[in-house]
Amino acid sequence: MVRHTPPMGWNSWNTFAENVNEKVVRESAEAMVQSGLYEAGYEYVVIDDCWSEKVRGKDGKLREDKRKFPSGMKELCDYVHGLGLKIGIYSCAGPLTCAGYPGSFDHEFVDAKSFADWGFDFLKYDYCYKPASVQGKFLYRRMGTALASCGRDILFSACSWGADETHTWIDGTGAHMWRSTGDIWDNYASIRDIIKLQYKILPYGGVGCFNDMDMLVTGMRGKGHVGIGGCTYEEYKLHMSVWAILASPLMIGCDIRSLNDETRELLTNRGMLSINQDARGCRAYIANEEEVRMSDVSPVFVRSLEGGDIAVCFTNLGDTDARGVLQAAQMGLSYGCGKKLCFCDVWSGEQIAMTNECLCLDMPPHTARLFRVKLK
């Protein structure tokens, strides 16, 4: 399987953690279809940690916890497929998962076969309890090999949190996406810190193996397992804008059974999604890199899109008002070239023309503006 665009879906962890169960998964899958998320492009329903029994069966295989998943995984997969969706499961490269359930270390092939037999389409693969004796890249390579020979197309989602310079080796392991940071929390500081960790790794990721900046907290509003603090509407908009321009997978973490209109719009805005899912698959650069390196100025991200358009995202990650500045030269316009750039704000629809040498925007704290830009 080759992934040409960042995977999109929902994952149980951010809201439910160890309380994940069959009811939640079925209802979330139904909600994904009914709420319009599926139509917008969200397709994977992923069961994270805490789904299995604490010990393997006598045959060495993982078993679902029947108190949480009474119908069993095969029937659940069939149900989710029947809705037109895909379904994912979770394991770990160490002998235990992060929450202390059995991991796949030295059981990679038998586990990949179980996941395939049940009907899973996606595996999130964590990094807790990694044995010191084996390098991470070989552990991910093992599971990549096991998945490649399990008889089913399974998207391989690596989750080694950027540890051990993940970006330098993950693409060779068979992974389709890879976590570049530690866990997200539903508060602004967590979003800001994850964005700041991206500056040095922008050239990595993209088509085939996407840089996963972690699951979305949009719409959590301080509820659920990682709901510590909550964010404002503008902070969630900044979160979506940056995840979109940096082509991160979009895995929703809020409870989609009770989406309000504001959250639905943040998750399904067409202009934002068309940038995230752009077919050209280019990586972004930081236009004002010098300033970002020298002082605490916030980045302006730029990315080429299919058909010649350009995505631009102004940010103000700081706690005070700031002025975002983008020079025409940073967008490829030479003095007197006779061209102009037209900026369309994907959230508000506002059109701004850049005819002079630069575009300056007054940016309140904790905000972003995401534009699709056309050359005229």
Tell me which residues touch ligand GLA (CB under 6 A): 13, 48-49, 97-99, 126, 159, 161, 183
3-state secondary structure of 112: helix
**Within a 10 A sphere around the Cβ of 269, how many other Cβ atoms?**
20
For ligand GLA, give the closer residue by CB, 13 or 156.
13
Q: How far is the CB of 362 from ligand GLA (least distance, A)?
A: 36
Answer whether 282's CB lies under 8 Å from 324's CB: no
Please report how close the Cβ of residue 353 comes to ligand GLA at its closest, in angstroms. Answer: 42
Q: How far is the CB of 94 from ligand GLA (least distance, A)?
A: 11
Complex with ligand GLA: residue 109 or 161, whichever CB lies closer: 161
Question: Of 24 and 99, which has the nearer Cβ to ligand GLA?
Answer: 99
Q: Which of 155, 19, 92 is nearest to 28 (CA)?
A: 19
Neighbour tally for 131: CB within 10 Å: 12
CA pair distance 198, 171, nearest whole angstrom: 17
Q: In the complex, what is the shortest distance from the CB of residue 226 to ligand GLA, in angstroms, rounded to a whole number? A: 9
Q: Return the number of the residue (186 or 309) whose C-beta is nearest ligand GLA.
A: 186
Q: Is 121 a catalytic residue?
A: no
134/163 with CB nearer ligand GLA: 163
Nearer to ligand GLA, 48 or 309 (CB): 48
User: Shortest distance, CB of residue 64 to ligand GLA, whole angstroms?
Assistant: 16
Listed in order, strand segments (DSSP E) in 121-268 are: 122-126, 155-158, 177-179, 210-212, 250-252
Active site residue 255: no
The least CB distance from residue 296 to ligand GLA, in Å, is: 28
CA distance 369 to 363: 9
String of b and e for 59-86 (b: at least 16 CB within 10 Å)? eeebbbbeebbeeebeebbebbeebebb
DSSP state at residue 173: G
Active-site residue, from 171, 183, 193, 345 = 183
| CA–CA distance, 143 with 168 (Å, rounded to integer) | 18
Catalytic site residue from 126, 255, 278, 309? 126
Could you give the count of Cα atoms lying within 13 Å of 6 in the half-sphere of its Cβ?
31
End-to-end CA distance of the chain: 38
Runs of H (alpha helix) within 35-107 = 37-40, 73-82
Cβ atoms of 341 and 353 within 8 Å: the answer is yes
- Comparing CA positions, the residue from 146, 52, 63, 68 lying closest to residue 106 is 146
Residues annotated catalytic, as ranges: 126, 183
